[in-house]
Amino acid sequence: MKYLKVIAFTHKQIELKELGKLVICQENLTEKLRAVKEHFAIDEIFYLSTCNRVEFVLSTSQKVDREFAEAFIASMNIGLCPHSTKTFLDAASIYSGQEALNHLLRTSCSLESLVVGEKEILAQLRKAYDDCREAGLTADKLRLVMECVVKTAKEVYTNTNISKNPISVVSLAYRKLKDLKLCSNARILIIGAGETNRNISKYLQKHKFSNFAVFNRTLAKAEQLAADLNGEAYEIADLANYKKGFDAIITCTSAVEPIITPEVYLSLLNGETGKKTIVDLAIPNDTAPEVLEQFEVNFIEVHSLNEVAKKNLQERYQELVHAEAIIEQNITEFFVMLKQRKVELAMRQVPEKIKEIRNNAVNTVFADEVQSLDKESREILEKVINYMEKKYISVPMVMAKDILINNN
Protein backbone atom coordinates (compact mmCIF):
# COMPACT_ATOMS: atom_id res chain seq x y z
CA MET A 1 0.00 0.00 0.00
CA LYS A 2 2.96 2.33 0.40
CA TYR A 3 2.95 2.89 -3.36
CA LEU A 4 -0.46 4.70 -3.41
CA LYS A 5 -0.19 8.52 -3.34
CA VAL A 6 -2.72 11.29 -3.98
CA ILE A 7 -2.16 15.01 -4.53
CA ALA A 8 -5.55 16.68 -4.05
CA PHE A 9 -6.83 20.23 -4.56
CA THR A 10 -10.45 20.49 -3.38
CA HIS A 11 -13.25 22.89 -2.54
CA LYS A 12 -12.49 22.42 1.15
CA GLN A 13 -9.34 24.53 0.98
CA ILE A 14 -9.69 26.37 -2.35
CA GLU A 15 -12.40 28.67 -3.72
CA LEU A 16 -14.25 27.02 -6.58
CA LYS A 17 -13.51 29.91 -8.92
CA GLU A 18 -9.81 29.59 -8.16
CA LEU A 19 -9.86 25.81 -8.48
CA GLY A 20 -10.62 26.16 -12.16
CA LYS A 21 -7.10 27.45 -12.79
CA LEU A 22 -5.81 23.91 -12.15
CA VAL A 23 -7.99 22.29 -14.80
CA ILE A 24 -5.97 20.81 -17.66
CA CYS A 25 -7.28 21.03 -21.21
CA GLN A 26 -8.47 17.60 -22.36
CA GLU A 27 -6.77 17.95 -25.75
CA ASN A 28 -3.24 17.57 -24.37
CA LEU A 29 -4.00 15.92 -21.02
CA THR A 30 -2.69 12.47 -21.97
CA GLU A 31 0.48 13.96 -23.40
CA LYS A 32 1.14 15.95 -20.21
CA LEU A 33 0.47 12.96 -17.93
CA ARG A 34 2.70 10.71 -20.01
CA ALA A 35 5.49 13.30 -19.83
CA VAL A 36 5.39 13.69 -16.02
CA LYS A 37 5.04 9.92 -15.61
CA GLU A 38 8.30 9.44 -17.47
CA HIS A 39 10.06 12.46 -15.95
CA PHE A 40 9.38 11.42 -12.34
CA ALA A 41 9.59 7.66 -13.00
CA ILE A 42 6.01 7.19 -11.79
CA ASP A 43 4.71 3.65 -12.29
CA GLU A 44 1.03 4.55 -12.79
CA ILE A 45 -1.01 7.76 -12.84
CA PHE A 46 -4.49 9.11 -13.43
CA TYR A 47 -6.03 12.57 -13.24
CA LEU A 48 -9.44 13.49 -11.82
CA SER A 49 -11.16 16.83 -12.45
CA THR A 50 -14.71 17.63 -11.30
CA CYS A 51 -16.59 20.79 -10.43
CA ASN A 52 -15.06 20.79 -6.94
CA ARG A 53 -11.73 18.97 -7.15
CA VAL A 54 -8.57 18.38 -9.15
CA GLU A 55 -6.56 15.33 -8.08
CA PHE A 56 -3.58 13.29 -9.23
CA VAL A 57 -3.55 9.61 -8.19
CA LEU A 58 -0.12 8.01 -8.37
CA SER A 59 1.47 4.61 -7.92
CA THR A 60 5.10 5.28 -7.03
CA SER A 61 7.71 4.22 -4.50
CA GLN A 62 8.97 7.80 -4.29
CA LYS A 63 8.23 10.07 -1.35
CA VAL A 64 5.46 12.45 -2.34
CA ASP A 65 5.63 15.60 -0.25
CA ARG A 66 5.34 19.36 -0.72
CA GLU A 67 8.70 19.49 -2.54
CA PHE A 68 7.66 16.70 -4.92
CA ALA A 69 4.24 18.28 -5.49
CA GLU A 70 5.85 21.62 -6.36
CA ALA A 71 8.13 20.04 -8.97
CA PHE A 72 5.26 17.88 -10.26
CA ILE A 73 2.85 20.81 -10.77
CA ALA A 74 5.60 22.86 -12.40
CA SER A 75 6.24 20.02 -14.87
CA MET A 76 2.53 19.88 -15.78
CA ASN A 77 2.88 23.33 -17.39
CA ILE A 78 -0.60 24.41 -16.35
CA GLY A 79 0.34 28.06 -16.78
CA LEU A 80 0.20 29.20 -13.16
CA CYS A 81 2.21 32.18 -11.96
CA PRO A 82 4.61 31.53 -9.02
CA HIS A 83 2.26 33.22 -6.53
CA SER A 84 -0.73 31.09 -7.59
CA THR A 85 1.38 27.94 -7.53
CA LYS A 86 2.47 28.65 -3.94
CA THR A 87 -1.14 29.38 -2.90
CA PHE A 88 -2.40 26.12 -4.38
CA LEU A 89 0.45 24.07 -2.91
CA ASP A 90 -0.18 25.56 0.54
CA ALA A 91 -3.80 24.38 0.23
CA ALA A 92 -3.01 20.96 -1.27
CA SER A 93 -3.75 17.74 0.58
CA ILE A 94 -1.19 14.97 0.08
CA TYR A 95 -2.13 11.42 1.03
CA SER A 96 -0.04 8.26 1.14
CA GLY A 97 -0.75 4.57 1.73
CA GLN A 98 -3.87 3.82 3.76
CA GLU A 99 -4.72 7.51 4.04
CA ALA A 100 -4.71 7.74 0.24
CA LEU A 101 -7.00 4.73 -0.08
CA ASN A 102 -9.34 6.11 2.59
CA HIS A 103 -9.47 9.44 0.76
CA LEU A 104 -10.32 7.78 -2.58
CA LEU A 105 -13.05 5.68 -0.98
CA ARG A 106 -14.55 8.72 0.77
CA THR A 107 -14.40 10.61 -2.52
CA SER A 108 -16.13 7.83 -4.48
CA CYS A 109 -18.92 7.69 -1.88
CA SER A 110 -19.39 11.49 -2.12
CA LEU A 111 -18.34 12.05 1.51
CA GLU A 112 -15.80 14.58 0.23
CA SER A 113 -18.17 16.20 -2.29
CA LEU A 114 -19.72 19.64 -2.15
CA VAL A 115 -23.09 17.89 -1.94
CA VAL A 116 -22.88 14.68 0.09
CA GLY A 117 -24.97 11.92 -1.49
CA GLU A 118 -24.54 12.90 -5.14
CA LYS A 119 -23.68 9.90 -7.28
CA GLU A 120 -22.02 11.71 -10.19
CA ILE A 121 -18.61 11.54 -8.52
CA LEU A 122 -18.37 7.75 -8.86
CA ALA A 123 -19.04 7.92 -12.60
CA GLN A 124 -16.54 10.78 -12.94
CA LEU A 125 -13.90 8.85 -11.00
CA ARG A 126 -14.42 5.73 -13.09
CA LYS A 127 -14.24 7.67 -16.36
CA ALA A 128 -11.07 9.47 -15.26
CA TYR A 129 -9.45 6.13 -14.45
CA ASP A 130 -10.73 4.42 -17.62
CA ASP A 131 -9.42 7.23 -19.83
CA CYS A 132 -5.95 6.91 -18.32
CA ARG A 133 -6.06 3.10 -18.41
CA GLU A 134 -6.90 3.18 -22.12
CA ALA A 135 -3.98 5.58 -22.63
CA GLY A 136 -1.65 3.06 -20.97
CA LEU A 137 -1.02 5.25 -17.92
CA THR A 138 -2.21 2.72 -15.32
CA ALA A 139 -1.58 -0.96 -14.60
CA ASP A 140 -2.28 -3.66 -12.00
CA LYS A 141 -1.85 -1.68 -8.76
CA LEU A 142 -4.31 1.10 -9.56
CA ARG A 143 -6.63 -1.49 -11.09
CA LEU A 144 -6.91 -3.21 -7.71
CA VAL A 145 -7.44 0.14 -6.00
CA MET A 146 -10.23 1.06 -8.41
CA GLU A 147 -11.95 -2.27 -7.93
CA CYS A 148 -12.05 -1.51 -4.20
CA VAL A 149 -13.23 2.06 -4.88
CA VAL A 150 -16.16 0.94 -7.04
CA LYS A 151 -17.16 -1.90 -4.70
CA THR A 152 -17.15 0.39 -1.65
CA ALA A 153 -19.16 3.15 -3.32
CA LYS A 154 -21.82 0.70 -4.49
CA GLU A 155 -22.15 -0.72 -0.97
CA VAL A 156 -22.50 2.74 0.55
CA TYR A 157 -25.15 3.85 -1.94
CA THR A 158 -27.02 0.55 -1.54
CA ASN A 159 -26.85 0.08 2.23
CA THR A 160 -27.24 3.65 3.51
CA ASN A 161 -29.66 6.51 2.89
CA ILE A 162 -26.84 8.85 1.92
CA SER A 163 -28.22 9.18 -1.61
CA LYS A 164 -31.92 8.99 -0.74
CA ASN A 165 -33.67 11.85 -2.53
CA PRO A 166 -30.25 12.88 -3.90
CA ILE A 167 -29.44 16.55 -4.21
CA SER A 168 -26.57 16.79 -6.65
CA VAL A 169 -25.13 19.96 -8.11
CA VAL A 170 -27.16 19.19 -11.23
CA SER A 171 -30.46 18.71 -9.37
CA LEU A 172 -29.85 21.81 -7.25
CA ALA A 173 -29.20 23.82 -10.39
CA TYR A 174 -32.35 22.47 -12.00
CA ARG A 175 -34.43 23.34 -8.95
CA LYS A 176 -33.22 26.95 -9.15
CA LEU A 177 -33.94 26.98 -12.86
CA LYS A 178 -37.41 25.58 -12.24
CA ASP A 179 -38.13 28.37 -9.73
CA LEU A 180 -37.73 30.85 -12.58
CA LYS A 181 -40.84 29.30 -14.18
CA LEU A 182 -39.63 29.03 -17.76
CA CYS A 183 -42.34 27.86 -20.17
CA SER A 184 -41.92 24.39 -21.67
CA ASN A 185 -41.16 25.77 -25.14
CA ALA A 186 -38.41 28.06 -23.84
CA ARG A 187 -35.44 28.23 -26.20
CA ILE A 188 -32.55 26.51 -24.40
CA LEU A 189 -28.96 26.55 -25.59
CA ILE A 190 -26.84 23.74 -24.18
CA ILE A 191 -23.11 24.39 -24.43
CA GLY A 192 -21.06 21.24 -23.84
CA ALA A 193 -22.26 17.67 -24.32
CA GLY A 194 -20.49 16.11 -21.35
CA GLU A 195 -21.94 14.15 -18.47
CA THR A 196 -23.11 17.15 -16.43
CA ASN A 197 -25.12 18.63 -19.30
CA ARG A 198 -26.46 15.22 -20.26
CA ASN A 199 -27.73 14.80 -16.71
CA ILE A 200 -29.41 18.20 -16.51
CA SER A 201 -30.92 17.55 -19.95
CA LYS A 202 -32.67 14.51 -18.51
CA TYR A 203 -34.37 16.76 -15.94
CA LEU A 204 -35.41 19.20 -18.64
CA GLN A 205 -36.76 16.43 -20.86
CA LYS A 206 -38.63 14.85 -17.96
CA HIS A 207 -40.38 18.17 -17.32
CA LYS A 208 -41.43 18.54 -20.96
CA PHE A 209 -38.93 21.12 -22.19
CA SER A 210 -38.57 20.59 -25.92
CA ASN A 211 -36.72 23.42 -27.68
CA PHE A 212 -32.97 22.74 -27.63
CA ALA A 213 -29.83 23.68 -29.50
CA VAL A 214 -26.66 21.83 -28.49
CA PHE A 215 -23.15 23.20 -29.01
CA ASN A 216 -20.00 21.17 -28.47
CA ARG A 217 -16.34 21.24 -29.48
CA THR A 218 -16.85 17.83 -31.12
CA LEU A 219 -19.86 17.94 -33.42
CA ALA A 220 -20.51 14.19 -33.16
CA LYS A 221 -21.14 14.46 -29.42
CA ALA A 222 -23.38 17.48 -29.95
CA GLU A 223 -25.36 15.48 -32.50
CA GLN A 224 -25.73 12.58 -30.08
CA LEU A 225 -27.17 14.73 -27.28
CA ALA A 226 -29.26 16.74 -29.75
CA ALA A 227 -30.76 13.51 -31.08
CA ASP A 228 -31.77 12.50 -27.56
CA LEU A 229 -33.43 15.90 -27.09
CA ASN A 230 -34.89 16.22 -30.60
CA GLY A 231 -32.85 19.41 -30.94
CA GLU A 232 -30.26 20.90 -33.26
CA ALA A 233 -26.50 20.33 -33.08
CA TYR A 234 -23.68 22.79 -33.71
CA GLU A 235 -19.97 23.17 -33.11
CA ILE A 236 -19.00 25.66 -30.39
CA ALA A 237 -17.39 27.78 -33.10
CA ASP A 238 -20.92 28.37 -34.49
CA LEU A 239 -22.07 29.97 -31.25
CA ALA A 240 -21.06 33.50 -32.23
CA ASN A 241 -23.16 33.27 -35.40
CA TYR A 242 -26.29 31.70 -33.87
CA LYS A 243 -29.27 34.01 -34.55
CA LYS A 244 -32.33 32.01 -33.44
CA GLY A 245 -32.51 33.59 -29.99
CA PHE A 246 -32.62 31.97 -26.57
CA ASP A 247 -34.31 32.13 -23.18
CA ALA A 248 -31.77 30.14 -21.17
CA ILE A 249 -28.19 28.95 -21.58
CA ILE A 250 -26.92 25.85 -19.80
CA THR A 251 -23.17 25.57 -20.07
CA CYS A 252 -20.54 23.19 -18.75
CA THR A 253 -17.35 22.66 -20.71
CA SER A 254 -13.70 21.96 -19.90
CA ALA A 255 -12.58 25.21 -21.53
CA VAL A 256 -9.98 27.16 -19.58
CA GLU A 257 -11.11 30.52 -21.02
CA PRO A 258 -14.68 31.98 -21.02
CA ILE A 259 -16.84 30.89 -23.93
CA ILE A 260 -19.67 33.34 -23.32
CA THR A 261 -17.98 36.71 -23.73
CA PRO A 262 -19.89 40.02 -23.91
CA GLU A 263 -19.49 39.96 -27.69
CA VAL A 264 -20.86 36.42 -28.02
CA TYR A 265 -23.70 37.12 -25.57
CA LEU A 266 -24.73 40.28 -27.43
CA SER A 267 -24.72 38.37 -30.70
CA LEU A 268 -26.86 35.60 -29.18
CA LEU A 269 -29.41 38.17 -27.98
CA ASN A 270 -29.87 39.20 -31.61
CA GLY A 271 -31.64 42.40 -30.58
CA GLU A 272 -33.77 40.93 -27.77
CA THR A 273 -33.81 42.92 -24.53
CA GLY A 274 -35.55 40.62 -22.02
CA LYS A 275 -33.82 39.19 -18.98
CA LYS A 276 -32.22 35.85 -19.81
CA THR A 277 -30.95 32.95 -17.67
CA ILE A 278 -27.51 31.36 -17.60
CA VAL A 279 -26.82 28.12 -15.73
CA ASP A 280 -23.03 27.85 -15.61
CA LEU A 281 -21.78 24.63 -14.02
CA ALA A 282 -18.26 24.83 -15.42
CA ILE A 283 -15.12 25.28 -13.36
CA PRO A 284 -13.72 27.76 -14.31
CA ASN A 285 -16.93 29.48 -15.39
CA ASP A 286 -17.72 29.51 -19.09
CA THR A 287 -19.29 32.96 -18.60
CA ALA A 288 -17.02 35.98 -18.57
CA PRO A 289 -17.58 38.26 -15.52
CA GLU A 290 -18.15 41.19 -17.90
CA VAL A 291 -21.34 39.53 -19.19
CA LEU A 292 -22.87 39.75 -15.71
CA GLU A 293 -21.72 43.34 -15.36
CA GLN A 294 -23.08 44.53 -18.70
CA PHE A 295 -26.32 42.55 -19.01
CA GLU A 296 -29.26 41.73 -16.76
CA VAL A 297 -29.02 37.98 -16.24
CA ASN A 298 -30.44 35.32 -13.91
CA PHE A 299 -27.13 33.63 -13.13
CA ILE A 300 -26.88 30.17 -11.53
CA GLU A 301 -23.42 28.74 -10.81
CA VAL A 302 -21.82 26.00 -8.70
CA HIS A 303 -20.55 28.50 -6.13
CA SER A 304 -24.07 29.75 -5.39
CA LEU A 305 -25.13 26.22 -4.35
CA ASN A 306 -22.74 26.21 -1.39
CA GLU A 307 -25.26 27.03 1.35
CA VAL A 308 -27.68 24.36 0.18
CA ALA A 309 -24.80 21.88 0.17
CA LYS A 310 -23.91 22.71 3.79
CA LYS A 311 -27.50 22.14 4.88
CA ASN A 312 -27.51 18.86 3.00
CA LEU A 313 -24.38 17.77 4.87
CA GLN A 314 -25.99 18.47 8.25
CA GLU A 315 -29.16 16.54 7.38
CA ARG A 316 -27.17 13.51 6.33
CA TYR A 317 -24.70 13.42 9.19
CA GLN A 318 -26.00 10.14 10.61
CA GLU A 319 -25.58 8.49 7.22
CA LEU A 320 -21.93 9.55 7.21
CA VAL A 321 -21.36 7.35 10.25
CA HIS A 322 -22.81 4.32 8.44
CA ALA A 323 -20.85 5.08 5.29
CA GLU A 324 -17.58 5.42 7.18
CA ALA A 325 -18.13 2.01 8.81
CA ILE A 326 -18.53 0.46 5.35
CA ILE A 327 -15.36 2.23 4.17
CA GLU A 328 -13.39 0.95 7.16
CA GLN A 329 -14.55 -2.61 6.50
CA ASN A 330 -13.55 -2.38 2.85
CA ILE A 331 -10.11 -1.06 3.74
CA THR A 332 -9.62 -4.08 6.02
CA GLU A 333 -10.73 -6.43 3.24
CA PHE A 334 -8.48 -4.66 0.75
CA PHE A 335 -5.40 -5.30 2.88
CA VAL A 336 -6.31 -8.99 3.08
CA MET A 337 -6.77 -9.12 -0.69
CA LEU A 338 -3.42 -7.38 -1.23
CA LYS A 339 -1.64 -9.98 0.89
CA GLN A 340 -3.29 -12.77 -1.06
CA ARG A 341 -2.28 -11.07 -4.27
CA LYS A 342 1.33 -10.90 -3.11
CA VAL A 343 1.30 -14.65 -2.45
CA GLU A 344 -0.20 -15.33 -5.87
CA LEU A 345 2.47 -13.25 -7.58
CA ALA A 346 5.28 -14.77 -5.49
CA MET A 347 4.13 -18.34 -6.11
CA ARG A 348 2.94 -18.10 -9.71
CA GLN A 349 5.93 -20.21 -10.83
CA VAL A 350 5.08 -23.07 -8.45
CA PRO A 351 2.77 -24.92 -10.90
CA GLU A 352 5.39 -24.81 -13.67
CA LYS A 353 8.12 -26.07 -11.34
CA ILE A 354 5.96 -28.98 -10.15
CA LYS A 355 5.12 -29.93 -13.74
CA GLU A 356 8.86 -29.89 -14.54
CA ILE A 357 9.55 -32.25 -11.61
CA ARG A 358 6.73 -34.55 -12.72
CA ASN A 359 7.94 -34.71 -16.32
CA ASN A 360 11.55 -35.28 -15.23
CA ALA A 361 10.49 -38.10 -12.90
CA VAL A 362 8.33 -39.89 -15.48
CA ASN A 363 10.47 -39.35 -18.55
CA THR A 364 14.00 -39.45 -17.12
CA VAL A 365 14.55 -40.60 -13.52
CA PHE A 366 12.00 -43.44 -13.54
CA ALA A 367 11.58 -43.78 -17.31
CA ASP A 368 12.64 -47.45 -17.47
CA GLU A 369 10.44 -48.49 -14.52
CA VAL A 370 7.40 -46.68 -15.98
CA GLN A 371 7.89 -48.30 -19.39
CA SER A 372 8.06 -51.75 -17.80
CA LEU A 373 4.57 -51.36 -16.32
CA ASP A 374 1.58 -52.79 -18.10
CA LYS A 375 -1.10 -50.47 -19.52
CA GLU A 376 -3.45 -50.73 -16.52
CA SER A 377 -0.63 -50.05 -14.04
CA ARG A 378 0.55 -47.01 -16.02
CA GLU A 379 -3.02 -45.62 -16.03
CA ILE A 380 -3.23 -46.01 -12.25
CA LEU A 381 0.19 -44.38 -11.83
CA GLU A 382 -0.92 -41.49 -14.07
CA LYS A 383 -4.01 -40.93 -11.91
CA VAL A 384 -1.93 -40.93 -8.71
CA ILE A 385 0.59 -38.49 -10.19
CA ASN A 386 -2.16 -36.16 -11.45
CA TYR A 387 -3.79 -36.18 -8.02
CA MET A 388 -0.51 -35.48 -6.24
CA GLU A 389 0.36 -32.73 -8.74
CA LYS A 390 -2.89 -30.86 -8.05
CA LYS A 391 -2.42 -31.15 -4.30
CA TYR A 392 1.20 -30.02 -4.43
CA ILE A 393 0.06 -26.94 -6.35
CA SER A 394 -3.03 -25.99 -4.30
CA VAL A 395 -1.99 -26.90 -0.74
CA PRO A 396 1.16 -24.71 -0.55
CA MET A 397 -0.78 -21.78 -2.06
CA VAL A 398 -3.55 -22.07 0.54
CA MET A 399 -1.10 -22.57 3.40
CA ALA A 400 1.04 -19.62 2.32
CA LYS A 401 -2.00 -17.35 2.14
CA ASP A 402 -3.16 -18.44 5.60
CA ILE A 403 0.29 -17.97 7.14
CA LEU A 404 0.76 -14.53 5.58
CA ILE A 405 -2.70 -13.28 6.55
CA ASN A 406 -2.65 -14.66 10.09
CA ASN A 407 0.89 -13.53 10.90
CA ASN A 408 0.64 -9.98 9.58
Give the catalytic positions in this structure: 51
Q: Is 173 known to sit in a ligand binding site?
A: no
Separation of alpha carbons 238 and 292, rounded Å: 22
Phi, psi of 109 (to 5 degrees): -90, 5
C-alpha pair distances (Å), 132 with each of 28, 31, 142, 349:
13, 11, 11, 31
Separation of alpha carbons 67 and 75, rounded Å: 13
DSSP state of 301: E
Q: Is 113 known to sit in a ligand binding site?
A: yes
C-beta neighbour count of 56 within 10 angstroms: 22
Q: If we measure between CA atoms, which residue out of 303, 310, 305 comes closest to residue 284?
A: 303
Q: Is 253 known to sit in a ligand binding site?
A: no
Q: Is 124 known to sit in a ligand binding site?
A: yes
Residues 6 or more apart whose Cβ sits within 8 Å of residue 59: 3, 4, 5, 42, 43, 44, 45, 138, 139, 141, 142
Alpha carbon 391 to its chain centroid, in Å, reads 43
Q: Is 51 known to sit in a ligand binding site?
A: yes
Q: Is 193 known to sit in a ligand binding site?
A: yes
Q: Is 330 known to sit in a ligand binding site?
A: no
Q: Is 50 known to sit in a ligand binding site?
A: yes
Q: Is 274 known to sit in a ligand binding site?
A: no
Q: Is 61 known to sit in a ligand binding site?
A: no
DSSP alpha helix (H) spans, 215-259: 219-229
Phi, psi of 63 (to 5 degrees): -75, 125
Phi, psi of 309 (to 5 degrees): -65, -40
Q: Is 154 known to sit in a ligand binding site?
A: no
Separation of alpha carbons 201 and 188, rounded Å: 10
Q: Is 118 known to sit in a ligand binding site?
A: yes
Q: Is 195 known to sit in a ligand binding site?
A: yes
Q: Is 108 known to sit in a ligand binding site?
A: no
- Binding residue ranges for substrate: 50-53, 113, 118-120, 124
- Binding residue ranges: 50-53, 113, 118-120, 124, 192-197
- Binding residue ranges for NADP(+): 192-197
